[in-house]
């Protein structure tokens, strides 16, 4: 089953949005496979955002990600990468629809509360980076009530 990497950024943790965000993925029917609260170092944040290293905002982005604890998660389900991005909303909260996490809880692009993998391949890479120890092995007993 498809998996995605979701991270609640330091602003989301500081603002008390952890429960709300987890709840949205849970209520959708996705399965929580990995979860931890941690501080990351600059070199780790740089690795996570390596694809953006040439961007002018890279330094500020890394500084933001290391500014406090983040919640790293692995969520599983059919189409979870793309649907996860839909639940999160557009990168710039000014363009995120109401009802999305960024549309409901963020204003500035540099404080947009949450990260979600943008493709199945990047999800695989990010899960390996953030959860080298692996994720939990379980299946929901509600599976047949969520999938036909």
Footprint of ligand DAT (CB under 6 A): 52, 57, 61, 91, 109-110, 112, 115, 118
HEC string of the chain?
Answer: CCEEEEEECHHHHHCCCHHHHHHHHHHHCCEEEEEEEECCCHHHHHHHCHHHCCCCCHHHHHHHHCCCCEEEEEEECCCHHHHHHHHHCCCCHHHCCECEHHHHHCCCHHHCCEEECCCHHHHHHHHHHHCCCCCCCCCCCCHHHHCC
The binder of 65, among Mg ion, ligand DAT, none, by C-beta within 5 to 8 A per type, is none
The binder of 39, among ligand DAT, Mg ion, none, by C-beta within 5 to 8 A per type, is none
Which of the following is catalytic: 70, 115, 126, 127?
Answer: 115
Q: Is residue 115 flagged as an active site residue?
A: yes
Q: Which residues are annotated as a binding site for ATP?
A: 9, 57, 85, 91, 102, 112
């Amino acid at each position: 089953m498809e998996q995605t990497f979701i991270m609640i950024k330091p602003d989301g943790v500081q603002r008390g949005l952890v429960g709300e965000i987890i709840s949205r993925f849970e209520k959708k029917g996705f399965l929580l496979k990995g979860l931890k609260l941690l501080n990351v170092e600059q070199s780790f944040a740089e690795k996570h955002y390596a694809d953006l290293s040439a961007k002018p905002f890279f330094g500020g982005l890394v500084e933001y990600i290391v500014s406090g604890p983040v919640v790293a998660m692995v969520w599983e389900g059919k189409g979870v990468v793309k649907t996860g991005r839909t639940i999160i909303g557009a990168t710039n909260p000014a363009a995120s629809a109401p009802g999305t996490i960024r549309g409901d809880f963020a204003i500035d692009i540099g404080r947009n509360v949450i990260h979600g993998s943008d493709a199945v391949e990047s999800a695989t890479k990010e899960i390996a980076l953030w959860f080298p120890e692996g994720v939990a092995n379980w299946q929901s007993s509600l599976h047949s009530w969520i999938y036909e």
